[in-house]
Structure 1
Amino acid sequence: MKLYSEKASAYPGFSPIVMDHLTGEGGEKISLGERIRSTATMRAVVCDVISEQYREVGMSMNGRLEKLREIESGTVTTGHQLQLCGGPAFFHYKIITTIRLARKLEKESGRGVVPIFWLASEDHDFKEVSWVNGESEKFVWSNPLENSKLPVGKLSLEGIEEVVKDWGGNGVNLMESEAVMLELQKAKENGEKYVHLFRRWLELWYGDTELLVLDASHPKLKNTAAALFAHEFTGSGIASAVLKTTEELKLRGFKVGTHIRDVNLFFQKGDGERVGIVKNGDGFLAGKTVINSEGEDWGAWCKKNAEFLSPGVLLRPLYQEFLLSNSHVVLGPGELGYWKQLEGAFQIREIVMPVLHLRDHVLVLSEELLSNAAQVGWSIEKGWWGEEEWKKVWLEGKMPSGIVDLEEKLSEFKRLSVEVAVGTDSTLEGAALASGATMDKAIGNLLKKIGKAIKRQNEQFLNDLSSSALKIYSKGSPQDRYMNFHILSRDVGGFYQLRNLLLEFDCSREKAVCEFMHVVSSVNENK
């Protein structure tokens, strides 16, 4: 197994705003010590909640929480939706980047730095988290409440066992799939919800590292942020600041598309749906529910009802940083855009904005993929090619060598035809040119037939070539957006081998904030 690494800017297809982030100087850097002082008051309650959440599912942290309890320690955080079986591989790349970055920052600063995964348990888009790809099929979880707006973390595990079992039988390493199923069975036996199962999976995959998992939907954490929520009702919310920053980004030529809500909160009580809060005259509604119908002071009302309030996509980062005051957050390219929209919002709330760090971008190439890529001369430096481009380039290389000579002779023949015709009678030029066009068409048809014959003679190889192309780039997306980490890691030694290779990547010669792309290839050492 080989690892080739380069600065992330070498990875093809990034948007202008991501490239600006990678090549620019970045925003203001706050020292780790300053961040620690700003989060001191929140650290104890965060640690207590994490401890409670691990105890709830009977899991030990093996001393991992002690570093976070030390007030001198910092944090690096990433988060994601609760994608079935991890979903696309970039889910793991975000976590791996976070752990490795925390280790590097700890080594450089001399202070403890804890990597944290933020569970997006309150997200209510079930469709986005309900699928995972195996080697050759897509597997989709159907849940009786899938069409509701219930937070996905609160969903029961009904219907999940069969789909996870089927996924495990579609190209996943047997021991890895059995381990995933075992955690699912434990969760079902205990009557747990999906968020608890997902914590179990994260512990399976990363419990031997320093990673801690936080579900910030806990009432204790919401209560501490009551004042942050209250601003959204008093006309001093973040919407205007976000809008201003967004317009500034657009003037710089950057496209950012996250919808800006007037009220960046949702309301969700008990087993009810998560519904966006909207202004209605002088009041506020969440669906048919009147918010604060008694007209109580908003600060007091939010303090009493904070556990029922859920930050929207643009307020959630401020809630996260209010709780954790991270030195860095690890983001995907899409997330980077909307975090950039929040610079003004962080300022008006007087919350320190973390350093934005792009996750690792990884391409995993098996021996078969490497071989087929060599057949067409593709490498990542040439950008993303669709399967038709792969076949087109290969076919061009297989056309008979005599075709070039034939085309040259035809071109000369057409030139002489026009010369002879015009020399006889200038009115014959049109006829000579028409004759040449007819010959071009005839040769074009012949070349098509030759191409079809070559395709017919190499049908199986072309099918294999298409299969390889689709394992690298499909429907406008690179590999890590649709292929599962378990599937990709199979040909390079397995889940933990690939995980550890990326975790242990030595970036000691680079600055801590340097972002990377990696190409992992499976190479037979006996060759």
Structure 2
Amino acid sequence: MPKSISFHRLPGLNSLFVDYVENFERVSSFYEQDYRQPVEQWKGIRETTNLHKKDLVEGLLEDAQRWESGRQTIKNIEALAKPETLAVVTGQQVGLFGGPLFTFYKATSAVLWARRIEKETGRPTVPVFWMETTDHDFYEINSIRMLDLAGEEVTLSLSNPPKEKRRVVGGITFNGEIEQLIHRLWNLMPANTYRGPLLEMLSDIYKPGETVGNAFARLFTYLFGDDGLVLFDADNARSKGAVRPLLDRIIESGDGLNDLLEESTKAVENKGYQAQISPQEDRLQLFVKYGEVRIPVSNDGTLLYEDRPHEQIGLEGLRRRAAENPEIFLPKVSLRPIMQDFLFPTAAYLAGPSEIAYFAQLKPLYRYLGVRMPAIIPRLSLTLLEGKIKKTLDKYGFTPEQLSKGPQELIRERLESDSSNDIVGLFAGIRKKWGEIHEELGYGLMHIDPTLQHPMEKTMARFQQGLNVLEDKARMALSHKNETLVSQVEKCCRHLAPQSQLQERRYSLQYYLVRYGRSLGQRIRSQAKIDLFRHQLIDLENGD
């Protein structure tokens, strides 16, 4: 069993998610399934069947062949043509070089849960990763952070955003800048046996002329090919043919979906939580893709262009376009999960903290559109612990959750806990004595001349200010005296809680791949428990 931390002790997590994993009864009304129950007791799991969606399977096979997917992935795609097959789904934006660590953990979670559900139900179960290539937030996917050879944080970024404000990111094509980033990666990585093969693989995938979406798919094919992970491109034209019936329901809904979302948002807020999705009046919860740009649509069927006059085609016009070209319709965040679960026979979705919070607003929309809401399972949440960092933690007796306080606070606590460094006690004693002097002097001056009280208070204030300055200087002197402690604590914080954030949200997978190679995944899987639902610490020196 790995060491673990309760989520309520970690920084930056929304309260609804914390209750979801630690006090589910408080939020259970927002969800269809109690994910903590045995799989066989999940509501509707026995009735979940996979309607044969020819367009979906053919589209998946086309992409898999283009990405040179392995035999197990092809087998899993073909299984999706069978009515008894289930799916375990997760997804994320297509971040540069695979994005932050938690993206890797999501895919790992889906693979492991698919195996468990298949074992417990006796039904073939396929892990699916929904690549959100139709998102338009360039700055969500254009950079990675990692530590350099000196242990300092560096950022690698694509510097040229698309000119179009709402351009979908998956189709953005790399230029020569990507080769410069690969070269920088080479210089940031240790010269070990893993560096050459890793950079050769990345250079083959991330190159001028390749798209952001295809590069991500090929990288995850490399990482999860043996697991049979099925990658779904949200912009896959052939597969989107299967969503025509759902698009009809959405277009016909008018204000119905917006009204339901407004009600569910109020229900979440009335329980004291912050809603993750903000309802928009008079808008369909769909975009229409024009070229490579996402265009909002009003409830009356008007395309709301930014750089040209609006186009009023009406709801009937939208229905015709949906029948002829379903691939141009893109779901907003409120409908993306529902479209996903319409396409796939989803038994479970592996979600991060923000996703779990926004699913709380979606239950009425699932019911309105006639789509079964799956079990929402918290993905693996991990901190990777290298041997050299673990030794430092053990040396000073720090726990990983303490590191979120930041290095300066930890250093202060450590130094002041040493009786030989008792700055707090020293200055507290001085202030106590000075308070006694203050009281005695004030009493004496009051009897001599009450007008002396004001200059006395000013003198006392100047002394207090000077004492504060002196205390700060004493702390700095103590820090210089303990430079080794300062250096090691700062290093631990940079590795495990950078900028007081979770490691998994800030750093790229590449830093760890070059140090542990393909065995990284096995080291994680040999220790992580998918049903622990706590933040887990993975000792990378174990599990090879």
With the length of structure 1 as denominator, give the TM-score of the two structures: 0.84
Q: Secondary structure at the residue paired with 1:164?
A: helix
CA spacing shift, 1:449–1:123, aligned 2, 3 Å: closer
| Residue 473 (structure 2) pairs with residue 452 (structure 1) | no
Matched residue, 1:81? 93
RMSD across aligned C-alpha pairs, in angstroms? 3.7
| Residue 232 (structure 2) pairs with residue 214 (structure 1) | yes
| Residue 346 (structure 2) pairs with residue 326 (structure 1) | yes
- Can you give the 5+ residue segments of structure 1 that lack an aligned partner in the other structure? none
| Residue 252 (structure 2) pairs with residue 225 (structure 1) | no
Matched residue, 1:17? 16
How many angstroms apart in 1 are the aligned matches of 2:346 and 2:511? 32
1:34-433 equivalence runs, <5 A = 34-35=44-45, 37-62=47-72, 63-135=75-147, 136-143=153-160, 145=162, 148-158=165-175, 159-171=177-189, 178-179=196-197, 181-187=199-205, 192-234=210-252, 235=254, 238-261=257-280, 262-269=283-290, 271-279=291-299, 283-287=302-306, 288=308, 293=313, 296=316, 298-374=318-394, 377-382=397-402, 384-397=404-417, 400-401=420-421, 410=430, 427=447
1:376 shift after superposition? 5.5
1:376-525 equivalence runs, <5 A = 377-382=397-402, 384-397=404-417, 400-401=420-421, 410=430, 427=447, 444-459=468-483, 461-488=485-512, 494-505=516-527, 507=529, 514-522=532-540
Return 475-484 or 188-197, whichever deviates more. Answer: 188-197
1:362 shift after superposition? 1.0
Return 515-524 or 419-428, whichever deviates more. Answer: 419-428
1:21 shift after superposition? 0.9
1:113 shift after superposition? 1.7
Check the 8 A contact 1:74/1:112 in 2, yes or no: yes
Q: Taking every aligned residue pair, what percent have the same amino acid on both sides?
A: 21
Residues 127-170 of structure 1, C-alpha deviations (whole Å, 9 max, x = no match):
21010113131000134736553322212221322213312431
1:463 shift after superposition? 4.0
2:475 counterpart letter in structure 1: G
1:242 shift after superposition? 1.2
1:487 counterpart letter in structure 2: Y
Return 62-71 or 150-159, whichever deviates more. Answer: 62-71
2:279 counterpart letter in structure 1: I
Residues 111-135 of structure 1, C-alpha deviations (whole Å, 9 max, x = no match):
2221111111111222210101131
CA spacing shift, 1:354–1:177, aligned 2, 3 Å: farther
Q: Secondary structure at the residue paired with 2:278?
A: coil
1:202 shift after superposition? 0.3
2:518 counterpart letter in structure 1: Y
CA spacing shift, 1:398–1:257, aligned 2, 3 Å: same
1:359 shift after superposition? 1.4
How many angstroms apart in 2 are the aligned matches of 1:343 and 1:420? 70
1:398 shift after superposition? 5.3
1:205 shift after superposition? 1.0
Residues 319-352 of structure 1, C-alpha deviations (whole Å, 9 max, x = no match):
1010013111111111222221111111111110
1:392 shift after superposition? 2.2
How many angstroms apart in 2 are the aligned matches of 1:162 and 1:424? 76
| Residue 32 (structure 2) pairs with residue 28 (structure 1) | yes
How many angstroms apart in 2 are the aligned matches of 1:353 and 1:331? 13
Return 412-421 or 339-348, whichever deviates more. Answer: 412-421
Return 386-395 or 32-41, whichever deviates more. Answer: 32-41
Check the 8 A contact 1:267/1:286 in 2, yes or no: no
Q: Secondary structure at the residue paired with 1:166?
A: helix
Check the 8 A contact 1:121/1:154 in 2, yes or no: yes
How many angstroms apart in 2 are the aligned matches of 1:313 and 1:222? 17
How many angstroms apart in 1 are the aligned matches of 2:427 and 2:225? 65
How many angstroms apart in 2 are the aligned matches of 1:412 and 1:301? 80
1:365 counterpart letter in structure 2: L
1:65 shift after superposition? 3.2
How many angstroms apart in 2 are the aligned matches of 1:130 and 1:113? 33
How many angstroms apart in 1 are the aligned matches of 2:321 and 2:78? 35
Return 463-472 or 334-343, whichever deviates more. Answer: 463-472
CA spacing shift, 1:156–1:422, aligned 2, 3 Å: closer
2:216 counterpart letter in structure 1: F
The number of residue pairs the alignment matches comes to 516
CA spacing shift, 1:189–1:254, aligned 2, 3 Å: closer
1:356 shift after superposition? 1.0
Check the 8 A contact 1:85/1:164 in 2, yes or no: no
How many angstroms apart in 2 are the aligned matches of 1:224 and 1:207? 25
How many angstroms apart in 1 are the aligned matches of 2:431 and 2:260? 65
CA spacing shift, 1:422–1:517, aligned 2, 3 Å: closer
Q: Secondary structure at the residue paired with 1:453?
A: helix
How many angstroms apart in 2 are the aligned matches of 1:44 and 1:502? 36
1:513 shift after superposition? 5.3
CA spacing shift, 1:33–1:419, aligned 2, 3 Å: closer
- Can you give the 5+ residue segments of structure 2 that lack an aligned partner in the other structure? 34-39, 148-152
Check the 8 A contact 2:137/2:169 in 1, yes or no: yes
How many angstroms apart in 2 are the aligned matches of 1:411 and 1:145? 60
How many angstroms apart in 1 are the aligned matches of 2:205 and 2:513? 26
With the length of structure 2 as denominator, give the TM-score of the two structures: 0.82
Residues 197-253 of structure 1, C-alpha deviations (whole Å, 9 max, x = no match):
211100111112131111132223322222322344431552221111011000000
Check the 8 A contact 1:50/1:214 in 2, yes or no: yes
CA spacing shift, 1:126–1:174, aligned 2, 3 Å: farther
Check the 8 A contact 1:364/1:519 in 2, yes or no: yes
How many angstroms apart in 1 are the aligned matches of 2:472 and 2:304? 64
CA spacing shift, 1:168–1:358, aligned 2, 3 Å: farther
1:246 counterpart letter in structure 2: T
1:442 shift after superposition? 6.2
1:110 shift after superposition? 2.1
How many angstroms apart in 2 are the aligned matches of 1:123 and 1:408? 56
1:28 counterpart letter in structure 2: E
Check the 8 A contact 2:97/2:510 in 1, yes or no: no
CA spacing shift, 1:173–1:236, aligned 2, 3 Å: farther
CA spacing shift, 1:58–1:293, aligned 2, 3 Å: same
CA spacing shift, 1:227–1:376, aligned 2, 3 Å: same
Q: Secondary structure at the residue paired with 1:259?
A: coil
Q: Secondary structure at the residue paired with 1:263?
A: strand
How many angstroms apart in 2 are the aligned matches of 1:201 and 1:303? 34
